Chain A
């Protein structure tokens, strides 16, 4: 039914439109309560459903947050235990090393002190004893006979003897002093040795004190983690995020290394497994090269596990030491062999490349390109070196990989929490939009039928007024 047909109800289209408007408004007015109820119902249902959904998601978010907290604390506890364990090992090693030397150190110190004591005793300065005959000289000197020739001679002789004895005594005294000085000089190395020994002891003790302070700090943090304090969780969370991004960056670098490694061996692999064999939609040569690189990475992981640098596989860490050492040797041997194979393949790549270039040059008629290059060996050696070194470099991927895996759990948890929180918020907003939207639609509906509503309002108002007047009169 077109608009024109609608308007052809009467000869005048305006009149027809007015009639239709009246009819529609009358229908809308009659259906008002039903439509209002329907809108309220729809709004209410949607609001309740979305609120319930939001609450459910909020509960899931809380559960995820608890789980994330547990994971974070468990990871942090494990990491802290490793750090503390390592610190204790260091302290143990230091104590073992220093205490094992302690008896020898003590003996050396005692010996040095005894030697110094002996030297010191030997070096005591003893004044020369006055000669015994000086008293006799004093007696002779008191004889009152200055003119006596005999006495004069005697005194003269005594004087000479005295001067001679004095000179001898001084000479002996000097000699004795020289000997004592020599002994004192000999004491110097002993003093230096004692000083060095004591410095070494001081250094060891300082180191132990430093370690003990570090242990105290770690223990405090460990206690916080065990208690599950918010501060510990916050610290662990931010540390985990940093670790995630740093390890991801290093893994990207490692991926670059693996790609270079791949390009080094993919071409010569075609010589071994054929250049046109496909597995699915991938070249068999490419898959073979990829497998070699993956095996190298796996061996690197096992090597790191066996060396207890990483702890991705608890089974390997729990192996007996003898078995672990064997595993280290086996994985290293396999890695070494694979690195040698890669170096060979890199060499082969260069040969193939030269062959291909030579063929292309012949086919294009560029004979000048066939001239030998004197510096070709540098490229070949560099490729071989890279082929040999890269597998060993890839071994260290295990460390960022472990960090990435551990930190990823937390990061995924944090992202999940954020996502759930956003969904819950959106659902709540949507629920409220439905509720208020229903009210708005009711108002809009009433706007369409404002004329009958106004009439109703007037009639009801008048009736209420009459009723109140009647009540007043009857009262």
Chain B
């Protein structure tokens, strides 16, 4: 009998002591603060709070602004890796929400929009956290407007990343020529998929439950 049970126990122990699999989520939200889009920040706050309710212990979340040069830690508005204990994680979420509220109340719009720099920063942050699932939310009209001299013509390494564009608003020029809007979305999709990532667009903010769906 012992001889029969022993292999089972060994198998269980070997399975239990194997390489731990990361099951947490890392989310990075880029917030466009350029031009007229800065008026949409109230919606962004709503999305951030919703995302906070969906994240659990051990998950990481960071919110960064998109401005003239977004490839910088200084642009991170708030970041947190939630504690293992649910009560502490709840406390962290409240603090996070307060930080975001303070930011949206006093934000100044930026003249340029460096989305690629923001994505690069997000990749760096999430790779460092090594979560099981990596999601980059881009709350922007996806119109990149780089300051002269800024070079962003570099391939993005987005293997294992989900990139979700949120609230991609139509510009006045898009209304004149809708193809511009479609091309803009398609271009970003191509860039993300070329980098190995997956691309999604969510414009209906009343159906946020899809936000962290696979």
Contacts and interface: CB of A to CB of B under 8 A. Distances in A.
Do A and B make up one complex? yes
Interface of A: 267, 270-271, 274-280, 352, 355-356, 358-360, 362-365
A360 B53 contact: yes
Nearest to B90: A359
Interface residues of B, number: 23
B57 to A, nearest CB: 4
9 contacts: A270-B85, A274-B57, A276-B24, A276-B56, A276-B84, A278-B20, A280-B15, A359-B53, A363-B52
Given A275-B57, A355-B87, A363-B93, 20 more contacts: A267-B86, A270-B86, A271-B85, A271-B87, A274-B84, A275-B84, A276-B58, A277-B84, A278-B20, A278-B21, A280-B12, A355-B86, A355-B90, A358-B90, A359-B53, A359-B94, A360-B53, A363-B50, A363-B94, A364-B50
B10 interface: no
A362 to B, nearest CB: 6
Given A359-B93, A359-B94, A364 B53 contact: yes
Contacts of B87: 271, 352, 355
Interface in B180-207: none
Contacts of A362: 94, 97
Given A275-B56, A359-B94, A364 B49 contact: yes
B172 interface: no
Main secondary structure of the interface of A (DSSP, over half): helix
A274 B53 contact: no
Given A363-B50, A365-B49, A275 B93 contact: no
Interface in B55-69: 56-58
Nearest to A271: B85
Nearest to A282: B16
Contacts of B85: 270-271, 274-275
B4 interface: no
A54 B186 CA distance: 71
Nearest to A287: B16
Interface of B: 12, 15-16, 20-21, 23-24, 49-50, 52-53, 56-58, 84-87, 89-90, 93-94, 97
A362 B56 CA distance: 16
Contacts of B53: 359-360, 363-364
A284 B53 CA distance: 23
B55 to A, nearest CB: 11
Most B Cβ at <10 Å: residue of A275, A277, A355: A275
A363 B57 CA distance: 16
A276 B23 contact: yes
Given A270-B85, A352-B86, A355-B87, A279 B50 contact: no
Nearest to A359: B90
Nearest to A267: B86
Given A280-B12, A363-B50, A365-B49, A356 B94 contact: no
A363 B97 contact: yes
A287 to B, nearest CB: 10
A270 B56 CA distance: 12
Contacts of B21: 278
Nearest to A353: B86
A358 to B, nearest CB: 8
A407 B97 CA distance: 60
Contact of A271 (B23, B58, B86, B97): B86
A359 B23 CA distance: 23
Contacts of B12: 280
B128 to A, nearest CB: 18
